[in-house]
C-alpha cells in the first residue's frame, strides 16, 4: 500500500527542506514539484521564449523530456533532455520563469500525469502549490506549510548569500510578495489551502522544531 503526503504553501516556507527530512525518516520518495516547473521554465528561457506567453511556451512542450533521479546525495536530480540541471534551476531568475510557466494551463496538464504517476508507484511526500487541491486530492495527509513574509524572505536571502548571490534582502522580499500574489491569484490551480489540510506555521520554529512538528502531524495520522 502506498501512502501520499501533500505539502503545499508559499515560496520559502521551508516545504522542500522539511519534506526531504520527513521522506528520509519514513523511507518515502520526496517529490519536489516546483523543481519540475523550474525545469520547464529553464528550457523555455534557454530557447529564447517568453515564459509568460503561452504561444511561446506551448509549442516547446513536446520537446521537453524531464527525468528525475534520486542520487546517493539524497537529492532529487532534475534531468532535462539528458542534462543534469539540478543546480541551474536554483538560480534566482528561474524562480520567476517557473512561476510564469506554471500559470499556463497546458503546462499544468503536461505535468499532471507525471506527478500522479509517481504517487501511484511509490509512497510519496510531494510538495508544491496545488498538491492537496488538484494533483493528489485523495492524499492521506495534507499539510499547508506557511511562515510570515519577513521570515521567508530572510531564509531565502540567507540561501542566496550562501551561494554568492548578493541580491539585497528588500529585493528578495519584494520578489516573494510578487510570487505569492501571482501563485495565489492565477486562474488555474492557484495556491490555496485545501479544506482538509492541517496548517503548520513555522515563523516561530527553527528547523529542528519544524521537522518535529511535521513529523508529529504525520505520525498522528498514519500508522507507521
Ligand atoms: O516551490 P518553488 O519555488 O520551487 O516553485 C517554483 C514555482 O513553480 C512557483 O512560483 C509556483 C510554481 N509551482 C506551481 O505552480 N505548482 C506546484 N505544484 C509547484 C510549483
Per residue in 67-113, pLDDT (tens digit) is 999 877 767 899 999 999 999 999 989 999 999 999 999 999 999 99
Identify whether the C-beta of residue 79 lies closer than 8 Å to the C-beta of residue 72.
Answer: no
- Full-model pTM: 0.91
CA torsion through residues 214, 215, 219, 224, sign: positive
Instruction: Please report the atom of ligand 1 found closest to the CA of residue 102.
Output: 15
Question: What's 78's DSSP letter?
Answer: E
Q: Is the pLDDT of residue 223 over 90?
A: no
The per-residue pLDDT for 74 is: 67
Span from the CA of 63 to the centroid of ligand 1 (angstroms): 21
User: Chain-centre distance of CA 48, in angstroms?
Assistant: 24
Instruction: Please report the atom of ligand 1 found closest to the CA of residue 11.
Output: 3
Span from the CA of 210 to the centroid of ligand 1 (angstroms): 21
Name the nearest CA neighbour of 108 among 12, 4, 190.
190
Span from the CA of 95 to the centroid of ligand 1 (angstroms): 8
Strand partners, 217: none
Q: Is 179 in the pocket of ligand 1 (CB under 6 A)?
A: yes
Q: Within 10 A of 64 (CB to CB), how many other CB atoms are there?
A: 17
Span from the CA of 50 to the centroid of ligand 1 (angstroms): 17
The per-residue pLDDT for 101 is: 97
Q: Is 37 in the pocket of ligand 1 (CB under 6 A)?
A: yes
Just give the CATH number of 4-218. Answer: 3.40.50.300
Backbone angles phi, psi at 78, to 5 degrees: -100, 125
Which residues are within 8 A (CB) of 155 and not within 5 positions of it... i.e. 6 or more apart? 12, 14, 147
The per-residue pLDDT for 13 is: 92
Q: Model confidence at 28, in pLDDT bands (50, 70, 90)?
A: very high
Instruction: Please report the atom of ligand 1 found closest to the CA of residue 35.
Output: 4
Angle at 209 between CA 203 and CA 211, to 5 degrees: 100
The per-residue pLDDT for 94 is: 96
The per-residue pLDDT for 1 is: 85
DSSP codes, 130-193: SIIIII-TT-SEEEEEE--HHHHHHHHHHHHHHTT----HHHHHHHHHHHHHHHHHSSSS----
Cell of 221: 495520522
Angle at 204 between CA 140 and CA 22, to 5 degrees: 35
Name the average pLDDT for the chain: 94
Q: Is 51 in the pocket of ligand 1 (CB under 6 A)?
A: no
The whole-angstrom separation of Cα 13 and Cα 174 is 15
The pLDDT tens digits of the residues spanning 112-158 come to: 999 999 999 999 999 999 999 999 999 999 999 999 999 999 999 99
Amino acid at each position: 500500500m502506498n501512502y501520499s503526503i501533500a505539502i503545499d504553501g508559499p515560496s520559502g516556507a521551508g516545504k522542500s527542506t522539511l519534506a526531504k527530512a520527513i521522506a528520509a525518516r519514513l523511507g518515502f520518495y520526496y517529490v519536489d514539484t516546483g523543481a519540475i516547473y523550474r525545469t520547464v521554465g529553464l528550457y523555455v528561457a534557454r530557447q529564447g521564449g517568453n515564459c509568460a506567453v503561452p504561444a511561446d511556451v506551448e509549442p516547446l512542450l513536446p520537446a521537453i523530456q524531464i527525468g528525475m533521479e534520486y542520487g546517493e546525495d539524497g537529492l532529487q536530480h532534475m534531468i532535462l533532455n539528458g542534462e543534469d540541471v539540478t543546480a541551474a534551476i536554483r538560480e534566482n531568475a528561474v524562480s520567476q520563469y517557473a512561476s510564469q510557466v506554471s500559470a499556463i494551463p497546458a503546462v499544468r496538464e503536461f505535468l499532471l500525469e507525471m506527478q500522479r504517476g509517481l504517487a501511484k508507484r511509490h509512497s510519496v511526500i510531494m510538495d508544491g502549490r496545488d498538491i492537496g487541491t488538484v494533483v493528489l486530492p485523495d492524499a492521506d495527509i495534507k499539510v499547508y506549510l506557511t511562515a510570515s513574509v519577513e521570515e521567508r524572505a530572510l531564509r531565502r536571502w540567507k540561501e542566496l548569500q550562501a551561494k554568492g548571490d548578493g541580491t539585497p534582502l528588500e529585493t528578495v522580499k519584494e520578489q516573494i510578495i510578487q510570487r505569492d500574489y501571482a501563485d495565489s491569484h492565477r486562474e488555474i490551480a492557484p495556491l490555496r489551502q485545501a479544506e482538509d489540510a492541517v496548517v503548520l506555521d513555522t515563523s516561530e520554529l527553527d528547523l529542528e522544531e519544524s521537522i518535529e512538528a511535521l513529523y508529529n502531524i504525520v505520525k498522528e495520522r498514519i500508522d507507521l
